[in-house]
Amino acid sequence: MDKVRIEAIETQAVIGVYEFEHDAPQPLILDLELTTDFTHAFASDDLQDALDYDAITQRVRGFCAASRYQLIEALAGGIIKLMMEHYPVDKVAITIRKPQALKGAMATVWCERSRQQMAALDI
């Protein structure tokens, strides 16, 4: 299988467990790895047979801006589900960094799920 990586997506979300985190969006930095098959794109050289990095990035930013999660783990699951609903991907891996969560450290979550695993979760 083939993979697309989109790294260091800068976005914001209202996210957090604590009440003060619900007042304003916080910065997040995301990396996506999308597993798919580019066999048709090899031959066609057509964006319709590939993954549109810009469209994916804009969709993720819009999703984050509209979301209201407590946990970055839950946000990761929401983004994985979003990718599988809108794009022909077999597996999605995501890293989410929340730079303001800890003083002097970086809070990071990494998740990976296949389409089959997500279907079994029924979320």
32-67 pLDDT tens trace:
999 999 999 999 999 999 999 999 999 999 999 999
pTM of the predicted protein model: 0.94
CA distance 32 to 19: 29
What tokens were used for 32?
């996506």
**What are the percentages of helix, strand and coil residues in the chain, rounded to 5?**
40, 35, 25
pLDDT in tens, 69-87: 999 999 999 999 999 999 9
Which long-range contacts does 114-118 make (Cβ < 8 Å, 24+ apart)? 114/90, 115/84, 115/89, 115/90, 115/91, 118/80, 118/81, 118/84
What rounded mean pLDDT belongs to the chain? 95
- The CATH number assigned to the domain with range 2-121 reads 3.30.1130.10
Q: How confident is the model at residue 123 (pLDDT cuts 50, 70, 90)?
A: low
